[in-house]
Structure 1
Amino acid sequence: MPVLERETPKGRRDSNVLPKVPVPDLHQTLDTYLRCMKHLVTEEQFRKTKSIVERFGKQGGTGELLQKHLLERRDKTENWVYDFWLEDMYLNNRLALPVNSSPVLVFPKQPFRERKDSLRFAAHLITGVLEYKEMLDTRALPVDYARGQQAGTPLCMEQYYRLFAACRRPGLKQDSVVIQGITSTATPDPGHIIVACKNQFFVLNMVEKSHKLSETNILAQLERICKMADNAEERLPPIGLLTSGGRTEWAQARDVLIKDPVNKDSLDMIERSLCLLCLDEPTSVEPNDTNRALLMLHGGGHHKNGANRWYDKPMQFVIGADGVCGVVCEHSPFEGIVLVQCTEYLMKYMTGSPAKLARAASVTDLPVPRKLQWKCSPMIQGMLASAADDLQKLVRNLDMAVYTFKGYGKEFIKKAKMSPDAYIQVALQLAFYRCNGRLVSTYESASTRRFREGRVDNIRSATPEALAFVRAMTDEKTFCPDTVKMEKLQDAIRAQTEYTVMAITGLGIDNHLLGLREIAKRLKMEMPEIFTDDTYRISNQFILSTSQVPTTVDMFCCYGPVVPNGYGACYNPQSNHIIFAVSSFRESTETSSAVFVKALEQGLLDMRDLCNKCSAASKPGDHSQGAAKPPKQGK
């Protein structure tokens, strides 16, 4: 099965005006690889790796052969790394999507007083979704331009057209992403959404009798769906639980399900839907930031709302009756910034565009929403029980801490003439070093949307310069003057910024090495030793997985760790505070989200004090005034 199954799309693609992603110079990548890994492995291991890399890169050797084939692939494809990256990052991964793969956006708690308030909110949201989709269908969405480093460059928009047109389909060995046809007509059919309520699934058509549903009609249909879902006698097994399990297990269950035409039709309706609207039951959990994040990530397990999902769908809007709301994202079709841009549009639509509800909702002319039916064999019942157990294990295992650092925000960092993103990345390295006494391979996503069908490469934040800085900040045996610490901080910021520019301009090492490895597989040659070496394994074990996901409206993003003994660290820098969402697994004796957050807070305060001291010392005259300090936080 191909990685991307595309139904024949209509309309013109505009991404081909952008340049193709480059293939970096082989020897530059190999030199950078050695520099990135030298301080992360033992001296003995590094000597072995250096010898392996030199043999791989020698003139006329294996590396040059693979590079030649990679250059040929670049000439024949729109984006030489896209399929390789998608398979490696997502589709070959057999772990369950919730926590392990799917990020979420968490909204502020909504002040719903009764169920109808939440349904009004949902109806208004879906009206905004339809407006946004019409912009996509008519190609009216403005082009994005890069911000931050090398700002102003136009970006590839292809990911937006998968928001409401894609579905991940499980496979026994590899998943696929099915892309529905994309129209460019003046009045495209908006299609249908799936409403999940009490673990049941309902089809809500956006057009009935040739007329688009008004917001009043949508609300009326949602009220009908809630009443239908309340009928306990007609409730079917919670099939959505199957999508929360391991991908191979779900593929096996799906193969059993589709043998029955009733199930096949229900699956088809879900997979072809625009999105899911998950109307969640109240959970009686304290709705603080951390708990709302947990409920978005896994629904609280099968006893709460964990089965009220279909994790294969890229966009799941969760509206809880208790005001716990957000978006759950299947990550393979698009990146977090695309999710944020879409969701911010919807949030601004909801606050800036009043709800268009008539005084009375007449539904006499609307067909009753269709409830999807399922035929469940004893085998499927057993698979459901197993999926429920696995989801509960995930719920128990996830250790989440959402923390708002209020000492300062990105404005203070900018005044210190540093990049906020690079500064926070160095702070994350300092926190990890204080917890573990070492640095580890770190992943920070870097957008490559400057190129056709660009996705991401990796910024390797655990630089030698970051190590020098964190050692200077933590070595109690050797006195290090503040001026030297400041120089090392600036060196670390500079190294981080330089690698960022390298990655976003298509010259990062991770995608390049992945491409060389996959070419070797396609040529069916013996795997080169550089890819079987322990250093390569360590380089791809991202114990610290990070991402900056800034928002202009009040919400935050979070996700789980990518390895059993690792951390997920998502951050959202605002003018005067920074939101961190730190995750780890309780089963690991090496991690603790609370301990990491405490070290992170201390590091940010220490870095602020260092900047203030050095700023004051550099000013002539009376130093007693110094630089203004934000209020000191508790340690």
Structure 2
Amino acid sequence: MPVLKKATLEKSASKGSEETEELPKLPVPPLQQTMDMYLKCMKHLVSEEQYKKSKAIVEKFIMPGGVGEMLQQKLLERQEKTENWIHQYWLDDMYLNNRLPLPVNSSPAVIFARHNFQDANDQLRFTANLISGVLDYKTLLDMHALPVDFARGQLSGQPMCMKQYYGLFSSYRLPGPSKDTLVAQESSIMPEPEHIIVACNNQFFVLDVVINFRRLSEGDLFTQLKKIVRMAENEDERLPPIGLLTSDGRAEWSQAREVLMKDSTNRDSLDMIERCMCLVCLDAPTGLELNEANRALQLLHGGGYDKNGGNRWYDKPMQFVVGRDGVCGTICEHSPFDGIVLVQCTEHLLKYMKNSPKKLVRADSVSELPAPRRLRWKCSPEIQGHLASSAEKLQRIVNNLDFTVYRFKGYGKEFIKKQKMSPDAFIQISLQLAFYRCHRKLVPTYESASIRRFRMGRVDNIRSSTAEALAFVKAMMDGKSTISDSEKMEYLRSAIAAQTNYTILAITGMAIDNHLLALRELAREHCKELPEVFTDEMYLSSNRFILSTSQVPTTMEMFCCYGPVVPNGYGACYNPQPESILFCISSFRDCKETSSDTFAKAVEESLTAMGDLCVQHNTKAQTPVKERKSQQENGHRT
């Protein structure tokens, strides 16, 4: 690494830590407050008998001088010693301890508008332009020149922690037998990556993007990509689809990686992938109708081992997919950063590509560049066995995912704002009503809330299935019509207020999930056995998020999606637009209780009913009292 670059990096790293230090530390909520809130969140979701039992367990836990007070004290000590008391516990619990395969279960995708490539060269010009955008963004990151994000929505205007951005192109999720490791390349030991990996025909190629201290131009990149495509078409050189191994369960992939590492050729290839900036996957045509749902599936799992499922390396945080048939987007390994950071980066890239001059890239622009290098693999019979098993499991994931993209066109966030309600809270209540329509109950619900107002902040959980939401959905589903529209409106406003209040608790570091997780992990470290509060059925069920939701807003022509987090659950990602709302609904076919199409229909019915309620209420509110009395006397419905 040249001296100048190293000095710049050291300077920018110190600048980054200064930015972080200016933010406040995440507060520790009072123990009594969290335990009271926990009981309140769960009371209406469990049986009376279960609630009484759990309440007694909680009371024992928080007794003066008891285990709860001891753990709270340990947590306050941890807050003093660390930048962020929840960060590592949360990262381990949410991602690194999870043994499920990354596709669908963990890795979200962003789907771009479909592109109409005239020919293979057109696809490669687009890819060269995209890579150039990545390098442009990486330069901003390396110089710490990215403008600071400020909070939007509730309590807007506060500066946000920017640390997650620095994991976009310089981290890697290393599989382990019982726990993964998130490897950061920003340390002084690891040089900055100066290459990307291009996947084509399930083969992997090293594309150096900096040669002789000079960043490659788009013309250079186009030339190199053409060479890669030619090399990938050579049947004599074709190697097994090693990328399939990264789609397996984490323990299985860790075991296969250990076998691969025994050979020096494989070690070199793994090293090049693990140290790269990002992956670019040049996908073969899918052969499917390219509606929004099918394009999303290509990003989420690649269509299986016989399509583009092996043309991936799921451990790398950023993979850009450019399909010959115009299916384009990003799939990300989620552990280093949250959805909004992914979206901000992606929006930057799309704007860069839109604004870059559409000059014709000449194939012969630079001929003296060294050819990109194919990564080689030595595959023992044991590895062949792992590959067959990985392929079969990926196919099961593909067949099991029940996914739909639904756009509600009745109204959008502008209508909701006119009701003087938060669009996010309104949509969350509609999801509760939709779930109740399908299942006649409410369940613990996850909605991610950013805590980036604090140093190294990631997310906490907004528990949307409030008692007030349950009262509203029951009123809306009341078959006897004994509840008036004005009463229903009161229930709705109460549910919106409860959702909004909990959102504010979450974003100010006062929600319950992170606090309870930290107390549980400290109990593992300091108690002989886990306190009963953490083994109680109510606590266990409070962490089974049958409804996993997230608002991922963007003004660009793209959308985000992900899979459910439990076998009998739904994933519901939504993007409120001014005049419409886009939903990506996922569930698993194995579960006979769930159906993504049925849930999407219930969302439509719920939003329609809630919109009608608001309109009817407004109409009544605007009708003079005398006129209303006259209409009622004449038996007219207003």
Task: Give the aligned partner of residue 636 of structure 2.
Answer: none
1:618 alignment partner, SS class: helix
* TM-score normalised by L of structure 2: 0.95
Does 2:304 align with 1:304?
A: no
Distance between the aligned counterparts of 2:615 and 2:527, measured in 1? 58
Does 2:385 align with 1:370?
A: no
Does 2:616 align with 1:613?
A: yes
2:98 to 80, 93, 98: 93
1:588 alignment partner, SS class: coil
Q: Aligned partner of 1:163: which letter?
A: L
Task: Give the aligned partner of residue 6 of structure 1.
Answer: none
Distance between the aligned counterparts of 2:176 and 2:483, measured in 1? 56
1:323 to 321, 326, 341: 326
Does 2:487 align with 1:484?
A: yes
Answer whether contact 2:97 2:179 (CA < 8 A) is retained: yes
Listed one character per residue, the Cα deviations across residues 142-192 of structure 1 (whole Å, up to 9, x for unaligned) are 000000000000000000000000000000000010000268xxxx96610
1:620 deviation in Å? 3.6
2:575 alignment partner, SS class: strand
Answer whether contact 1:70 1:515 (CA < 8 A) is retained: yes
Equivalent residue runs for 1:566-577 within 5 Å: 566-577=569-580
Task: Give the aligned partner of residue 555 of structure 1.
Answer: 558
Q: Aligned partner of 2:605: which letter?
A: Q
2:267 to 253, 264, 276: 264
Answer whether contact 1:426 1:492 (CA < 8 A) is retained: yes
Task: Give the aligned partner of residue 203 of structure 1.
Answer: 206
Task: Give the aligned partner of residue 162 of structure 1.
Answer: 167
1:276 deviation in Å? 0.2
Distance between the aligned counterparts of 1:210 and 1:535, measured in 2? 59
Answer whether contact 1:400 1:584 (CA < 8 A) is retained: yes
Listed one character per residue, the Cα deviations across residues 262-308 of structure 1 (whole Å, up to 9, x for unaligned) are 11111010011000000000011100011111111000001000000
Does 2:169 align with 1:176?
A: no
Equivalent residue runs for 1:210-289 within 5 Å: 210-289=213-292
Task: Give the aligned partner of residue 143 of structure 2.
Answer: 138
Answer whether contact 2:186 2:192 (CA < 8 A) is retained: no
Answer whether contact 1:190 1:206 (CA < 8 A) is retained: no
1:352 deviation in Å? 1.3
Aligned positions, number: 614
Distance between the aligned counterparts of 2:421 and 2:565, measured in 1? 29
Distance between the aligned counterparts of 2:556 and 2:548, measured in 1? 24
Answer whether contact 2:170 2:192 (CA < 8 A) is retained: no
Does 2:543 align with 1:537?
A: no
Answer whether contact 2:222 2:361 (CA < 8 A) is retained: no
Report which stretch shifted further, 346-355 or 385-394.
346-355
Q: Aligned partner of 2:103: which letter?
A: P
Task: Give the aligned partner of residue 633 of structure 1.
Answer: none
Distance between the aligned counterparts of 1:448 and 1:339, measured in 2? 16
Does 2:398 align with 1:395?
A: yes
2:61 to 12, 35, 56: 56
Q: What is the alpha-carbon root mean square deviation over aligned residues?
A: 1.6
Distance between the aligned counterparts of 2:625 and 2:65, measured in 1? 65
Answer whether contact 1:215 1:355 (CA < 8 A) is retained: no
2:108 to 103, 109, 128: 103
Answer whether contact 2:222 2:363 (CA < 8 A) is retained: no
1:525 deviation in Å? 2.5
Listed one character per residue, the Cα deviations across residues 440-469 of structure 1 (whole Å, up to 9, x for unaligned) are 000000000000000000000000000000
Equivalent residue runs for 1:25-40 within 5 Å: 25-40=30-45
Q: Aligned partner of 1:117: which letter?
A: D
Distance between the aligned counterparts of 2:34 and 2:363, measured in 1? 65
Q: 1:190 to 1:176 in 2, by over 3 A?
A: closer
Listed one character per residue, the Cα deviations across residues 327-384 of structure 1 (whole Å, up to 9, x for unaligned) are 0010000000000000000001111122455445334210000000001100000000
Answer whether contact 1:411 1:576 (CA < 8 A) is retained: yes
Listed one character per residue, the Cα deviations across residues 1-55 of structure 1 (whole Å, up to 9, x for unaligned) are xxxxxxxx83211211101101100000000000000011111000000000000
* TM-score normalised by L of structure 1: 0.95
Identity of aligned residues (%): 63
Task: Give the aligned partner of residue 422 of structure 1.
Answer: 425
Task: Give the aligned partner of residue 191 of structure 1.
Answer: 194
1:429 deviation in Å? 0.1
Unaligned residue ranges in structure 2 (runs of 5+): 1-8, 629-638
Q: Aligned partner of 1:71: which letter?
A: L
Report which stretch shifted further, 292-301 or 204-213.
204-213
Answer whether contact 1:543 1:563 (CA < 8 A) is retained: yes
Q: 1:360 to 1:254 in 2, by over 3 A?
A: closer
Equivalent residue runs for 1:61-80 within 5 Å: 61-80=66-85
Task: Give the aligned partner of residue 449 of structure 1.
Answer: 452
Answer whether contact 1:215 1:357 (CA < 8 A) is retained: no
Q: Aligned partner of 1:533: which letter?
A: D
Distance between the aligned counterparts of 1:487 and 1:607, measured in 2? 12
Q: Aligned partner of 1:412: which letter?
A: F
1:115 deviation in Å? 1.3
Unaligned residue ranges in structure 1 (runs of 5+): 1-8, 626-635
1:610 deviation in Å? 0.1
Does 2:298 align with 1:290?
A: no
Task: Give the aligned partner of residue 473 of structure 1.
Answer: 476
